[in-house]
Structure formats: structure tokens, C-alpha cells
Structure 1
């Protein structure tokens, strides 16, 4: 008779907590992509000008990325569970407003509210996840499943958006959130506990203003460059503003007694290079979905439902990547896992440069995105483990806030950057231009793999050295 080692066995309560948090993270990931294939239908239904359609996605991405770090820190002050509940309630209300919207202004207001709610819920949910499971194999397993939910949610959003738009109405892309959010709000108080002590120090107001404004400006500037080209004067001015704001933020953090982000944590290689790997994998994989959507709809002429189903292979690859990721990390360490996963993602992205104008090339998309997604999710698992290891519970809000900010900013920036690349190479409807953008995507991921392999000096994320651990007073 075999027995399960206690360090890898979840209790019934932990399973229920895990299920609740994974469901919420899946819904948040779906929201990033569920409207992408439905944008023309939404625009026609509410009277959006064609040039303004991208703001339906941008308004959400701006707020989700810009406020994540600040709201993650708020969770340390008011409690992660309370922040999680406030965010989920706000998400349900915002989704209801969006589903009932009768004008562009109301819809964009709902998207802003959804983005703010996502910025509150995601780091709080991730903090609750990491503090519910002890560091080591059990936490790695939970983070692996969480990574599956994030990646498959993004892919499922494209499929679900196509299904709902074709069979019902684009409004259900909003309304589907309402019952899920309501159920989570009812169950969360009964299942979730906030084990970490709350922060009682003075809030770093200056740092909060500088980093939030800097992130908002960064995402806006990149989006503007993607829409109007890198020579747009507003895009250039925004880049200069971002540099000034983030430089000011760094100086403010060095001087504050209780900074929003202690500079010591940013100097840790696991935090710095782990977040760098996470940023690249999120940005380039989300932009690849965007580029392939353009290819399938504009070059091959598929409808939204057919497009979503074709990209469904990524979801299956993500499930496999999430299940094998923790085992790979336990076997070879976080550095090799991150570098290897990035390399797999780069290789199978590069194969898509061969895509041609005939529908027979769909088989290459199915195979390459399936295998590439395995590497992509292995990177996400390694990134989450590296970004949250070796820290006490009361600093998990900061660590998960940084990790979530990396995810949100990566997803928000990847699409406009690759859109700008494709536009400079021709147009978003040109096969040759899409090939160029896909090649750039693969190259960026390959360079990241090389840098992580040579710069991230750690082997076992669950066993951070004593020198790497930050004191609880930081």
C-alpha cells in the first residue's frame, strides 16, 4: 500500500480554496480576450467610430496594468480577502453595466471599471493562493494550476467570444461574468482566510502616484505607437514622461522608510529575471494570438467562431504545460525551466513564419501553438515560483503585486508593439507583414531565453539561500 507524502497532499479545504481562486483567475484571464474577436460587432451595435474600437480593449488594459501594483499593496493594508471581495463585487457590477450599455461612453466606463476590478482581484487572489500553500512542491503545484487557468483563460476568451457573438450577442461577453462573480462573493468569506499580518506603516503616497502614473503612461504610449506608428509625437513624448516618472519612482523608493517596492527586492535575481521572463512570455504569446487572429480572419477569411476553435489547441497545450511545469522545476530548477520553456516557445513561434495563403496551413497553427503553449505555461509556472519564493507571508502581497503587474503590462503591451511592427512592415492584413511580426516575436523570446540562462543564478526556487531572503522589516 502506497502513501502520499504530506508535503504534496492537499487537504479538502485547500482543494476548495484552490478551486475558488482558480475559477476567479480564469474569469479574469477570459476578460482580456473575450471581446477581441467581437470588436467589429460591438462597434456596429453601439455606434463606435472605427478608429475608437481599440479603446474597448485599451481602456481595460490600461487600468488593469496601471493600478495592479498599487492595489496589491492596498491588500497588505486592508487585508487580501477584503480586497479580493471588493474587487469581485466591482467586477460583477461593471460587467452588468457593460452588458446593458446603450452608448460608447457607458461601455468604455464599464471597461475602465472592469480593469480596476481586475487590478484589485488578481494580486489579492494570487497572494491568498501563495499564503494558503507552504513554499515548496505544494505551492508549485498550486501555481502550476493557476498558470494553466491564466493561459487557457486567455485562449478560451477568444473561443467564448466567438461563440457568444455568433450564437447569442456580444452582450453576453459581459453578462457571463455576473453569476460567476456573485457565486465567488458568496463562497469566498466561508473558504478564504487571510493569514498574513496587515501592514501598519505609512503608505508610500509619492511612490504610489509615480509608479501608477508611469505604468499608465507606458501602456498608453505603446498603444499610441501601435495605432499611429513609432514616429507619432505623442508616443515619443509619452516615452520621455515614462522614463522621468519611473526614475523618480526609483529615487523615491530608496528614500522612503516603508517604500511601496523596496529596492532590495528588485535587486534579487529571482525577482528581477523571473519577472523579465514572465513579461516576455506574456507579451509575446498574447501578441502571437493577435497576429494569428488577423491571419485567420483577414488572410484565410475565417469567421470569429472558426478562428477561436482553431486557436483552441493552445488551451490543451497550456493544460499539459501546467501539469508538467512543477515537475520540470523540481527536476532541473527554475533557471533551466524558464530558459527551456522560452526556447520551446521561440522555436514553435518561428515555425509559423512559414504560413501561406491557403487554408491547408491551419494544421501548422494547430501543431505549433499546441507545442509552443506547453513551453509558454512552463515559463509562467517558473516565473510565479521565482517571483514569490523566499519571502515571508506579509510580503507576498508585494511579490504577487509585482508578478501580476508583469503579467498585466506584458499582455497590454504585446499587442500594440507587434501591431506597430506589422504596420511598419506593410499592413495588418498583409501576409508578409504578419510573417515579419511573427519572426520578431520569436526572436524576442529566443533572446530572453539566452539572457535568463546566463543571468539567473539559482537552481532550486523553493530553497532560497539565506543571503537572498529579505528581512521581515523590509
Structure 2
């Protein structure tokens, strides 16, 4: 290579240099590191759900305060994602990724060694902040490391499969670890994983940041972060205490007002956190709506089926957790299938086809009953194929919401996509819990729980069908306009 070629390679447009057509050794190492980290972060969302009673007994949590173990993680994980994604654009995504993984390891160690509720709650808050920083930074590193096209589609497919499988695996791991070892290992298992990532990542991942360092839109960051915190808090309270709870209504009202203020702030900001022109892209706007629906529906379905298995069929937490292994296999299969389907057809086709499959097999669960054998015979194949469909939608959403944007805006695009993902995971359970509570009126008999779960599953299927309609209309219009 001549001395004149190096500057030209740095400044040439992306089409000037041929993109790699296969995974090189370094790209495989990058993919492995990022996927391990993202899988671990996804597991943390659900691994403690089964262990909550054991933690309460061990550390002296009251029954009323147990929910804060989950909420203390969910609030920062969803609320700070967009803000910390922007910080990654400013100081370097690799730096933020490594720092957040280190924080995750330290917080997990503190949680595993906690001797009282205060330390444990603080550890969960730190884990949530680490997740809010590491997830968009890791996704940005993934999209900027792999060129747009088949390689990026394959990487995003694997990433989506492992993240969704991680959420499901968390329920399984939580039950196994709590029954066989101790709830403390649900925290401590993160420590060696974090150390391994910190050892390998610096050598294989290249720094990624925009050529021009953006400024921080502080008013925008504050309004969107506080708005999301209010929304998550309000929906969580509604899921636990009903829609008439004063704290729930106050949180929802404050969240809605702050998010409306955020939109006003962004129109007037010189360098907005989320430029309105980006949100005006149909792929970004509608892609994120579809991602939100995908994560709300599938993660909350796990909660609904857990209620059915334990409250109606009498399963133990471990038995219920293991039952979701089939769903995990479905998500992995969907993640492997999605890039091939997209390559042969289109992203919109994957979104529509995946949504239709998920709708059909979610609706099939309306036939669940009180007999164990028939319920499992229906649930296991329905969750497998529903997981395949859901993963087609998730991979399609990730590609749609991050494609067609320059590397300088990948931090913003992945921050928005990650926010949709985190908010969807966080809000799915309280929303469906509120539906169940409203249906049962607080009754806990097997029949009442089954009625509540059935109504919530119908709402779940309707939301997925709404996503199909959006994908088939809004994104198809976009493709015709582009043509």
C-alpha cells in the first residue's frame, strides 16, 4: 500500500473499500465477546424473579418490599439507556462498554455478599445502570464493527437470539441456582463472566466514536430520563396495586408530561439528544414501535405462563422455569433463521411473517385449561413457534431501526433501539399484571387466575397483531417511497 492510500482509506465513503464478505478471526472474537456480554445482561433481567422469596427470607425483606429488588434494577436499566448511549458517543463506546462491564462485576459481587436490604438494593441499582450503559454501547460496537448487509444481519440475528434466550434462561438459571446452591450465586455468576470480558475485549474491540464529538443536550437528557423513570414506576405500581393507585397515576402523569416536554426541548435544542429528523425516518420511528411491542409481548408472556403453571397447575418454581427451555430454543432457532429469511426476501417480510406466527401461537394459548397434560401439550409447541416468530420480529426491528444511518449516528440509533428493548422488557410484566389484577379482582383461586391469564393472553395477541398491521402498512409505504 502506498503512502497516499492510507489517508484515502480513512476518508473515503463506505463504498470505496470492499466490505468483508465473511467472518474473519477478529470479527469472530468481537462477536463472541459482545454476545457473551449481551446474554449476561439479558439474564440479569429475570434471574432473580424465582429467587425473590429466598432473598426475602435471607436478608429480612418484608413481603411488600420484595418488589423493589426487581424495580431497583428495572428503573435505571430503562430510564438511563438513551442518556448513557449518548455518553458513549461522546467519550467512546468501547470505553463506556468496558467501564459498565466492570461496574456490573463489582455490583454483582456486592449483591452476592450483601448482608442487608440496603446493600442489595444499591447493588441492583448499580446493575441497572451498568445494563443501561453496556447494552447500547455493545450494540453500537456491533453495528459499527460489521458492515451493513449480510454480515451485520447475521450478527444482529445472533445478538437478538441470545438476548431473548437470555431473558428466558434467567428464569431457568434462577430456579436451578436457588434450589441447588443459593440465591447469592444468581449475583456471583456474573463476576467471572465480567472478568473474562474485561480481559479479552480490550485486545479485540476497536474504539468507536463519531468523528465530531457531540455535545450533551442536558435538558433533553434530564426530561427523557426522568420521564422514562416516571413511566416505568407508574406502570410497575399499577401492576402491583391496580390502575386506581395514587402513586401509579402520579408516576404515569409525571412521566407523560416529561416525555411531552422532551419532544418540545428537542425541537428547540441546537444539538438535540434525539434530532427530530432522525425520528422522522419511518424506519427508525416505526422500527422502534415494533421493537417495543415485541419485547412487551414475549417477556410478559413468560410472566403469564408462570402464573398459570404455578397458580393453576401447581408447578414448583424450578419446574416452571425448566418448562421455558422450549421457548428459549424457539428464540435461538428464530435468531438463526431471521438473517436467511431477510436475505432471501426483505426485512419487512420478516417482520410481518414473524408477527403473524407469534400472533397465531399466542392466540393458541387461549385454550389453556386446568389439566396438566393437555396444558403442557399445548404450551410447549406454542411457546416454541411463538418464540421463533418473536425473534424474526426482533431481528427485523434491530435491522430496520439501525440501517441507513452513518456510523456517527449509530450510537443514537442503537440507543433508541436499546431503549425500546429495555422499556419493553420492563413494562411488559406490570402491564399484563395489571390486566390480570383487573380481571380477577384480587382473587387467587386457580379458576380466577386462569381467567385473568386468559384475558391477558388475548390482549397480548392483539398487541402482536397490531405490530403486524404497522409493519405491513407503514414500512411497506417506506419501501415504495424509497423505490
Q: Which TM-score applies when normalising by structure 2?
A: 0.92
Q: 1:244 to 1:459 in 2, by over 3 A?
A: closer
Partner of 1:389: 403
Pick from 240, 243, 251 the counterpart of residue 230 of structure 1. Answer: 243
Q: What SS is found at the alignment partner of 1:36?
A: coil
Offset, 1:433: 1.1
Alpha carbons of structure 1 residues 144 and 459: separation in structure 2 relative to 1, 3 Å: farther
- Indicate if the aligned counterparts of 2:90 and 2:209 stay in contact, CA closer than 8 A: no
User: Counterpart of 1:403?
Assistant: 417
SS in 1 for 2:213: coil
| Mean Cα deviation higher: 323-332 or 212-221 | 323-332
Structure 2 CA distance for aligned equivalents of residues 129 and 459 of structure 1: 25
Which of 281, 285, 291 does residue 272 from structure 1 map onto?
285
2:91 is aligned with 1:78: yes
Q: Map 1:327-406 onto structure 2 (within 5 A).
A: 327-360=340-373, 361-406=375-420
**Aligned counterpart in structure 2 of residue 57 of structure 1, from 70, 94, 115:** 70
Describe the SS at the equivalent of 1:194: coil
Partners of 2:90 and 2:212 in 1: CA distance:
5
Q: SS at the partner of 2:51?
A: helix
Residue 415 (structure 1) aligned to one of 425, 429, 439: 429
Do residues 457 (structure 1) and 476 (structure 2) align? yes
Matches within 5 A, 1:137-156: 137-156=150-169
Partners of 1:95 and 1:448 in 2: how far apart? 36
**Per-residue displacement from partner, 1:303-343 (whole Å, max 9, x unpaired)?**
12211111100111111101110122222212221122112
2:454 to 435, 438, 457: 435
Match of 2:274 in 1: 261
Deviates further, 302-311 or 109-118? 302-311
SS at match of 2:50: helix
Query: Does residue 29 of structure 2 align to residue 23 of structure 1?
Result: no
1:470 equivalent in structure 2: none
Structure-2 change in CA distance of 1:195 and 1:71 (3 Å): closer
- Once residues 55 and 344 of structure 1 are traced to their aligned partners in structure 2, the CA distance between those partners, rounded to angstroms, is 35
In 2: Cα distance, 1:181 partner to 1:43 partner:
26
- Give the whole-Å Cα distance in 2 for the aligned partners of 1:459 and 1:395: 20
1:444 and 2:463 are equivalent in the alignment: yes
Q: Deviations over 1:7-54 (max 9, x none)?
A: 541111000000000000000000001011111111111111111111
Q: Measure how far apart 1:202 and its partner are.
A: 2.6
Equivalent position of 2:303 in the other structure: 290
Please give the alpha-carbon distance, in whole angstroms, between the structure 2 residues aligned to 1:24 and 1:325.
21
Paired residue secondary structure (1:150): helix
Secondary structure of 1:48 counterpart: coil
User: What corresponds to 1:472 in structure 2?
Assistant: none
Aligned to 1:302, what secondary structure does the other structure show? coil
Where do 5+ consecutive residues of structure 2 fail to align?
Answer: 1-17
Post-superposition offset of 1:451: 2.1
Alpha-carbon distance between aligned partners in 2 of 1:41 and 1:394, rounded to the nearest angstrom: 46
Deviation at 1:372, TM superposition (A): 0.2
Post-superposition CA distance 1:427-469 (Å, at most 9, x none)? 48411111111111111111221122112236779xx959xxx
